[in-house]
Amino acid sequence: MNKAVAIPYIIALVIGIIVLAFIAYWVYKSISSPILSLEECKSRVINWCTQCAAAGWPDEQARMKMPDELRECANKYFGGVWGDNDCCGSSDTCGNNKGDCEAFLGKYA
């Protein structure tokens, strides 16, 4: 009986498991962080800016947090102007979110 025949099958099985693990990871990453389309992103940015304007552009941290997926798409489509902060106003801690929203809301900002 030749026992060396099983070694290629074991190696193929290990390589197959590694490939399946890589494919599963790739599918998980592509599903878990969807990139919004330009239209959806613009709509959500306008909605967020409108909420900030209605609240009076608060400078308090964590008051009007921009969701991470929205910040990612805004930086992708509209330039890297959307800071990693949790407020709407124009203070030093908030960045220039109020100014950035003027591009979407115009004189109503």
pLDDT for position 22: 96
Q: What is the pLDDT of residues 66-88, one digit of tens each?
A: 888 888 888 888 876 676 666 77
Q: Cα 36–41–42 angle (5° rounding)? A: 155
pLDDT over 80 (residue 31)? no
Strands (DSSP E) contained in 1-109 are: none
Nearest 5°: the CA angle 28, 32, 36 is: 130
Residue 104 scores a pLDDT above 70: yes
Asked whether residue 59 falls in the same domain as residue 95, the answer is yes
Question: Which residue range forms the structural domain that includes residue 13?
Answer: 3-32
48 shares a domain with 27: no
Residues 63 and 88 in one domain: yes
Q: Is the pLDDT of residue 1 over 60?
A: no
Q: Which two tokens stand for residue 52?
A: 């900030």
Q: Do 26 and 74 have their domain in common?
A: no
CA distance 29 to 25: 6
Same-domain status, 56 and 95: yes
Q: Are residues 46 and 86 in the same domain?
A: yes
Instruction: Specify the number of domains making up the chain.
Output: 2
The structure's pTM equals 0.62
